[in-house]
Amino acid sequence: MARTITYREAINEALAQEMERDDSVIVMGEDNAGGEGSPGEMDAWGGVLGVTKGLYHRFPGRVLDTPISESAFIGAAIGAATAGMRPVAELMFVDFMGVCFDQIYNQAAKFRYMFGGKAVTPVVIRTMYGAGLRAAAQHSQCLYPLFTHIPGLKVAVPATPYDAKGLLTQAIRDDDPVMFFEHKALYDVAGPVPEEGYALPFGEANVVREGGDVTIVALGRMVHTSLEAAEQLAGDGVQCEVVDLRTTSPLDEDTVLESVEGTGRLVVVDEAHPRCSMATDISALVARKAFGALQAPVEMVTAPHTPVPFANTLEDLYVPDAQRIANAVKATAEWTR
């Protein structure tokens, strides 16, 4: 049995091992070390939630603090990637994409195609997403659908420490630009993680629970919530198969379709807003390619079409919980023509 570490530690370990393995890997972001130019200690924070802690002293000159200038340093990471580096830049909260999106979607994502296949841009942009920390509307969004929409970007949304390490390792070794989404409510979740380095291939979903009655497709934190619902439903005699997408681009269509072919019923669970989301994307995929297998309408459990609210009572209502998922699964399981 592998040792158990947290999601945060798994990400840190992937960074450290890849920096050890490859000199071209550098890390940059706001307070990624922390304390630059200040009178106190360096590596004061190691990132706003401590994910990059310790790397600064271990890899001199390769962990760069930045001014609060996302356009400049995200763009710099992209430029450095075209010049032989493998930068891992941290966009502290994905909500801040608004001030640097051009560099990601008009520059990094398009270089290879627009330049006729002559550019390689192996940049990773790590970013925090998701509700649950009472951080309100500008620090809690999911937003991976916006990046998934853009050809030229790859998008990873790991749910577990094991996946976080393996997918980040793949992201760093990958020759295409990768958006790497870390759910802020998962950092302290622990799980088994091998000590040696390993890369999990993109575009391979994971069936995290097998079952024959209803397929639940989820990603990120919602995998855990879905598993909780599935456990509860098993007690009621409904067996769920839970599919963790792991990456939204590339998307493992086959695993989703195979599961739905087996169950005939689908609930998609997505913490993002309901419109133009992974929930609608997966629903459309199944409607188009597994229509014959469906025995009930596809159901979606998502956040509402509202900004993320602040008050505990409201945020708890906003984020899909196990009960809502269980209700949707039951309705789907019981649906007859």
Contact residues toward another protein (CB under 8 A) are: 26, 61-62, 64, 66-67, 69, 71-85, 87, 99, 102-103, 106-107, 111-120, 151-152, 154, 174-176, 203, 250
User: Minimum distance between the CB of residue 169 and another protein, rounded to whole angstroms?
Assistant: 16
Residue number with CB closer to another protein (52 or 121) = 121
Look at residues 210, 252, 242 and name the one whose alpha carbon lies nearest to residue 329. Answer: 242
Residue number with CB closer to another protein (40 or 116) = 116
Q: How far is CA 63 from CA 10, 24, 44, 55, 175, in A?
A: 18, 12, 13, 7, 21
Q: Outline where DSSP puts E strands in the chain.
A: 4-6, 25-29, 63-65, 86-93, 124-129, 154-156, 178-183, 190-192, 206-209, 214-218, 240-244, 247-249, 266-270, 299-302
Task: Determine which one of 139, 183, 224, 273 is catalytic.
Answer: 139
Residue number with CB closer to another protein (78 or 186) = 78
139 is an active site residue: yes
CA-atom Rg of the chain in angstroms:
20
User: Minimum distance between the CB of residue 325 and another protein, rounded to whole angstroms?
Assistant: 31
User: Minimum distance between the CB of residue 76 and another protein, rounded to whole angstroms?
Assistant: 4
User: Minimum distance between the CB of residue 114 and another protein, rounded to whole angstroms?
Assistant: 5
Residue number with CB closer to another protein (77 or 238) = 77
Look at residues 94, 96, 92 and name the one whose alpha carbon lies nearest to residue 50. Answer: 92
Catalytic residue set: 139
